[in-house]
Amino acid sequence: MGGVLLGFGISPEQLFAQPTSPSVQPSLRGRYFKLAIGPQRVNFTGKERIATAVNGTVPGPILRWREGDMITLDVTNNLTESSSIHWHGIILPAEMDGVPDISFDGIAPGTTFRYQFAVKQNGTFWYHSHSGFQEQTGHYGSIIIDPATPEPFSYDREYVIMLSDWSDEKPADIYAKLKKMSGYYNFAERTTSDLIRDIKEKGLARTWRDRSMWNRMRMSDRDLSDVTGYTYTYLMNGRTPAHGWTGLFRRGEKVRLRIINGSAMSFFDVRIPGLVMTVVAADGQNIEPVSVGEFRIGVAETYDVIVTPKDDRAYCIFAQALDRTGYARGTLTPDPALTIDVPDMDSYPVLSHQDMGMKMDMGVKFAEPSHNMMQMDGMAGMKAAKTMRGPAGYGSDTRVIHSETEFGPHVDARAQSPRYRLDDPGVGLRNNGRRVLTYADLKGLYPTPDPRDPGREIQLHLTGNMARYMWSINGIKYSDAEPLLLKYGERLRITLINDTMMNHPMHLHGMWSDLETGDGKRIPRKHTVIVQPGAKISYLVTADARGSWAYHCHLLYHMLAMFRKVVVSER
């Protein structure tokens, strides 16, 4: 049976650094909740700033629900601007989803909106604003849903681990800087010393070819994150790396860690040196347990792991940013007086041809000035495409098609040989000597709820021009796009092809994304799917939720344009 001891982190008095980050995260349990969104003074870096807090804390309080209950949440907006709360990954009626201009009008200043819905699931989830850039300024929190029946694994104690990124800069200023110079926060670009080293290691000819390729693409093999530790302070449960978060255990206990990436823009690589992590759930859904030494958690994903400390010593929960420009950290310890050194960060990852979907040096087609030529080539590809559908769980056999909207100055590259890379841990984690979780390891614990083969397929390209900081889907930004129309009750496949160099966490509201990993009988269910650079990925969707829904990249500064409205109707 699941653990009955609930811990939220205990740390000594000297760990207090921020007026809104208590050592014990506030937790609310029950069926009725009152939440207030408002400004709150915080100090994460030595400089006082104004955050957007829920009930006065960053992160907001942990909300504890029970599967099967009817939940009522009265949310009051004390800001001077409209706000909202989206219940990420929660299956509910469209009008309760909390996305302004799609599912409701938003919560006007000085007003209260009542969310009310039945809880139809259990697991680890989270909530956040879907208004402007409020999520970046602290408007997020955790949701834990206790199951109606005993869980399939046991544990003695549990902690919620919320990872996030904070900047003293205003989000609008960050976005404006990215629009003016996309590499503004990237201080890891190649230097003369890098060039000299490459020539020594690879020779002049190969170095010239490699650099020429990246120059033709007008890209950099070190463009890993748009926003970096130059402006970000990475937080664990609202605690800075200088102070860290602390959770207690007794030797031999099984400790469940519910790990949530509530950041605006940051991927984290998580490990606990000295402990094996047994992953038991992904995005709130139980999976067949898999033991790993490390995993990458994308923006908006959640993973539940169980660890069993065998010794009376401290262990570091280490979450380094993908670009290695900073980290969040915590400590598991039997005694608050015991500490542990923080491990060194890994070396800075470098993107490869593989990360651009290249089968050979010329595997990427570059956006050349001649728009007419590229448009003709794209249309020829459409005519030649042969449509096939693989069985449920096994992915798409459909040829990659580039539509005419993907050609022009708003798209700077197209991966012509994207592959399923489910067993690829990603740039910076390959062959690092640790057992790293991949999507290929995910296998649903229970039989696939809807075993039907897809009746049709939607192929979507994640597109952009990094230099101009322009993002889109199929080369079309959200403001110019038509909605995606789904028929109620249909089973369809969505295949995403990433034509960019960035990892994109794609989130479909209101319905599960059944990730195709090669086993139709035990398909893992997710609410957020990471699409690696130059790769493709497929998942099945059962259109069982009527109404209008959001579908978007969860990187906050991509979301404005890499977004679609999805409409599920009877026709």
Q: Is the pLDDT of residue 181 over 70?
A: yes
| Average pLDDT estimate for 160-167 | 98
Specify the pLDDT at position 187: 73
What does the pLDDT look like over 535-549, one tens digit per residue? 999 999 999 999 999
Q: Give the whole-angstrom CA distance, residue 102 versus residue 84.
A: 12
3-state DSSP assignment of residue 90: coil
Specify the pLDDT at position 353: 65
Q: Is the pLDDT of residue 218 over 70?
A: no
Q: Enumerate residues 6+ apart whose C-beta is below 8 A from 204.
A: none
Please check whether residue 521 is in contact with residue 448, taking contact to mean a CB–CB distance below 8 angstroms. yes
| Average pLDDT estimate for 370-389 | 32
Q: Give the whole-angstrom CA distance, residue 114 versus residue 470.
A: 36
Does the pTM exceed 0.75?
A: yes
- What is the token pair recorded at 49? 């700033």
Q: Give the whole-angstrom CA distance, residue 561 versus residue 472.
A: 5
| Average pLDDT estimate for 503-531 | 97
Specify the pLDDT at position 384: 30
Specify the pLDDT at position 416: 78
Q: Give the whole-angstrom CA distance, residue 223 versus residue 356.
A: 12
Q: What is the mean pLDDT of the chain?
A: 88
Specify the pLDDT at position 415: 85
Q: Give the whole-angstrom CA distance, residue 24 versus residue 15.
A: 11
More confident call, 224 vs 89: 89
Assign domain 8-170+231-333 to a CATH class: mainly beta
| Average pLDDT estimate for 324-348 | 96
What does the radius of gyration of the chain's CA atoms come to, in whole angstroms?
A: 23
- What is the token pair recorded at 104? 């409701």
Specify the pLDDT at position 412: 87
| Average pLDDT estimate for 127-141 | 98
More confident call, 511 vs 224: 511
Q: Is the pLDDT of residue 443 over 90?
A: yes
Q: What percent of the chain has pLDDT over 70?
A: 84
Q: Render 419-462 in DSSP notation, one character per residue.
A: EE-TT---TTTTTSSS-B--GGG--BSS--S--PPPSEEEEEEE
Q: How many CA atoms lie within 13 A of 85 on its CB side?
A: 31
Specify the pLDDT at position 19: 41
Same fold, 8-170+231-333 and 356-426+438-569: yes
Please check whether residue 509 is in contact with residue 552, taking contact to mean a CB–CB distance below 8 angstroms. no
Domain parsing of the chain, residue ranges:
8-170+231-333, 356-426+438-569
356-426+438-569 domain in CATH 3.40.50.2300?
A: no
Q: Give the whole-angstrom CA distance, residue 178 versus residue 182.
A: 4
More confident call, 413 vs 196: 413
What does the pLDDT look like over 348-369, one tens digit per residue? 888 776 676 555 333 333 333 2
The position carrying tokens 């900081």 is: 469
Q: Is the pLDDT of residue 79 over 90?
A: yes
For the ranges 132-146, 225-239, 389-403, 515-529, the lowest mean pLDDT is seen at 389-403
